[in-house]
Amino acid sequence: MRGRLYTTLLIIVLCTCGIMLTGCQLKDVERRSFVLAFGIDSAPTDEGKDNQNLIEVTLKLAIPEGDPSKRDQEAVIISQVSNTIPEAIRLLKSKVDKELDFSQCKTLLFGESYAKKSISEISDWMVRRRDIQLVAYNGVARPSAKEVLSLHPKSERVPAYSLILSLGREGTESPFIVGMFSYNFRRHLSEQGLDPILPLVEKDGEEAILINKSVLLDKKRARAELTPDETRLYNLLMTQNLRTSFFAEKDGVIYSYNMESTHAKFKLITSKEGKTIVQYYVGGRAILEDNNQDVETTGSLLREVSKVASEKWEKDINKFLVKVHGTGLDPLGWGLRYMALNWNNATEIEDWEKIYPQLEFRVKADVEIKYSGMIH
């Protein structure tokens, strides 16, 4: 009798589980379209139509093939104009026959015109979207994200891979590229005392991209642009052991030198007059590469060139800091340092806002240039 009861209960449990299990929703790989890059632009303006708030979302999709080393790896570019990003994604699903998968998306580009309006919506969406990795690389695209994503550089074997190799420094290690992950970008958008900076990705011809500038942003939009030299100085101040080269001019001769090691740090000091001064200490060791007039290299010459190089660094970096300060932005984290050293949660932000316009800058550089093979 007891055995029949257990059997009946077991059958009831199995039937109940069978009813509750409506089937697995996991889709196989061949039923997915992998998004490799995501771009967002302001929608093109049509005369006579009010579309100021419309956006255009562009996706670069991969078509998996057997041999990833072949250059003929195909990519599909689809775009959609809509009022919101979620609505655009839903409409884009109607243009493909597979489920859109964002788990492999490593590049997020904001069109230049879109970045100048507001990036609040996209920055909030990308960190809350469950299948977008926060280690994706962010950048501003010129003239638009759609045109940059539509490029297919000759050196690119896998769709969108050239952007990953450049922005992530997994391939080239250019001193002119500012790398920025999504999680860091989002953090800088909300953190007091530190403003975000993004690399500028430009279309260079029909099959090439150019990344050697950067864009400064406030908490909502792009505000200023840095030249290639200024971007390199930013990296010099923010990166230890930056691999780059400079030149110094002495008596009409140009000496090129390559940095073997670099260092930079700053501190906030108060002058006798009560002003806050940002004091930078930068320097490094370098190897003289060449000069344009075959001047014989001696120990005294190297010391003189080192002095000239140090003075040039001090002048250029000070000019760069004044420019950044003039934008009203703080991509180097001066405010964050001030708040870390002045623990007064009630007034520290207001105090810094009063101090910031009066900031002064001083730079002390120490560049030591050597010559390979020379015995000192």
Domain residue limits, the chain: 31-226, 231-372
Determine which helix (DSSP H) or strand (DSSP E) holds 281, and give its type and residue range: strand 276-291
Structure tokens at 55: 């956006």
Rounded mean pLDDT for each run of 10 residues along the chain, 376 residues in total: 62 59 61 88 70 85 66 79 91 87 90 91 85 89 93 77 83 87 91 93 89 94 95 94 91 92 94 91 93 83 94 96 96 93 84 93 95 65
- pLDDT of res. 344: 80
For residue 158, give the amino acid letter: V
- State the Cα–Cα distance between residues 245 and 258, nearest whole angstrom: 4
Radius of gyration, CA atoms only, the chain = 27
For residue 181, give the amino acid letter: F
- State the Cα–Cα distance between residues 201 and 144, nearest whole angstrom: 9
- Going by their DSSP bridges, the two strands 209-217 and 222-226 should be labelled as antiparallel
Cβ 275 vs Cβ 355: under 8 Å:
no
Beta strands across the sheet bearing 245-250:
245-250, 253-270, 276-291, 360-370
- pLDDT of res. 335: 94
Nearest to 77 by CA among 173, 27, 149: 149
For residue 83, give the amino acid letter: N
**Considering the entire predicted model, what is its pTM?**
0.85
- pLDDT of res. 131: 82
Q: How many CB atoms lie within 10 A of CB 206?
A: 9
- pLDDT of res. 304: 94
- State the Cα–Cα distance between residues 139 and 8, nearest whole angstrom: 63
Cβ 60 vs Cβ 37: under 8 Å:
yes
User: In CATH, what number does 231-372 get?
Assistant: 3.30.300.210
Counting every residue written for the chain, the total comes to 376
- State the Cα–Cα distance between residues 212 and 226, nearest whole angstrom: 9
User: Which residues partner with 270 through β-bridges?
Assistant: 276
- pLDDT of res. 135: 87
Determine which helix (DSSP H) or strand (DSSP E) holds 184, and give its type and residue range: helix 182-190
Determine which helix (DSSP H) or strand (DSSP E) holds 267, and give its type and residue range: strand 253-270
